[in-house]
Amino acid sequence: MQNKCYRYMIMGLAVCAVMLMPWHRAFARHQATVLLNTGQEIPGEVRFLPASRSYEIRVGDRTREVRAADVAEVTLDREPEGFSRALRDVEQRRYQQAIPILSSIVEDYAMFGPDREAGKALILAYLRTDRSSDALRTAETLIRRDSGIGQNPEFAAVYWEALLDEERLSTLRTSIREAIQSGSRDLAAVGLLRRGDLEMREGHYREALVNGYLRVVLLFQDVGFAQPEALYKAIRAHEELNEVTYAERWRQRLLSSHATSEFAQRLRD
């Protein structure tokens, strides 16, 4: 009986350890320079401590801990191995090849900067390989780690796409509404795109145009990166409504003004 209880106790501790592991263990150390909000620079061996939300900086045999809130920037002495190559792989749609490297960087370089770029690319790679649950899990991990990342339009775009694919519609609507009301113009434009996607998913093609895509096309022309996607999706919505003339108007604009974009290429395919 005593051995049985001991065995169950060990199993329980193991389960607790697994549950707590992502947020109660320190991440890997890296040579980097920490820039404080005061302007002071501290070079050394650095790692992020999630439990206390701080950076541990080791210089020789001395160790110092600095709150993440007091840090302006962390600059690595060198970029993670394979980082640039993995980002190129995603750009060139070699998603399966990029996923292992990006996943490792997101894990090992928490709160060092490259984890943000790697995270966005990893979420996109998961989405394009029909792994939306992994995409959402990665996005939520990054948000828990760094709440400010949600204000990044590129991150928000893939995060909201993952929410849509996983049918987390209430969370998606709330997040989009807040972004449109109080976010930057770039973030609001992405929010309108995803609002259009949500309406399209529900078969509300007119609402997708009026409340989403056409708002970006007509009212957010200064947000250049959002234009190709808005035009492409406006074309698709007009086609669903058999509005051939409008679809052709946006088709010509997309092919002439954004000829090298991913969405122009999709249109040609």
pLDDT digits 0-9 by tens, 191-242: 999 999 999 999 999 999 999 999 999 999 999 999 999 999 999 999 999 9
15 pLDDT more than 60:
no
- Domains in the chain and their CATH numbers? 2-76 (2.30.30.100), 79-166 (1.25.40), 168-269 (1.25.40)
Q: How far is 138 from 122, CA to CA, in rounded Å?
A: 8
Q: How far is CA 88 from CA 47, 54, 59, in A?
A: 27, 32, 35
Percentage of the chain exceeding pLDDT 90: 86
Taking residue 49's Cβ as centre, other Cβ atoms within 10 Å add up to 18
261 pLDDT more than 60:
yes
pLDDT given at position 150: 92
pLDDT digits 0-9 by tens, 158-168: 999 999 999 99
pLDDT given at position 4: 42
User: Largest Cα–Cα distance in the chain?
Assistant: 80
pLDDT digits 0-9 by tens, 57-73: 999 999 999 999 999 99
Q: Where are the alpha helices (DSSP H) in the chain?
A: 2-20, 83-91, 95-108, 114-128, 132-145, 153-165, 169-182, 185-201, 205-208, 214-219, 227-240, 244-257, 262-268
Alpha carbon distance, N-terminus to C-terminus of the chain = 68
Q: How far is 127 from 130, CA to CA, in rounded Å?
A: 5
11 pLDDT more than 70:
no
pTM > 0.95: no
**Overall average pLDDT of the 109-138 stretch:** 96
User: With contact defined as beta carbons under 8 Å apart, do 159 and 171 qualify?
Assistant: no
Written as six digits, the tokens of 57 are 């900086």
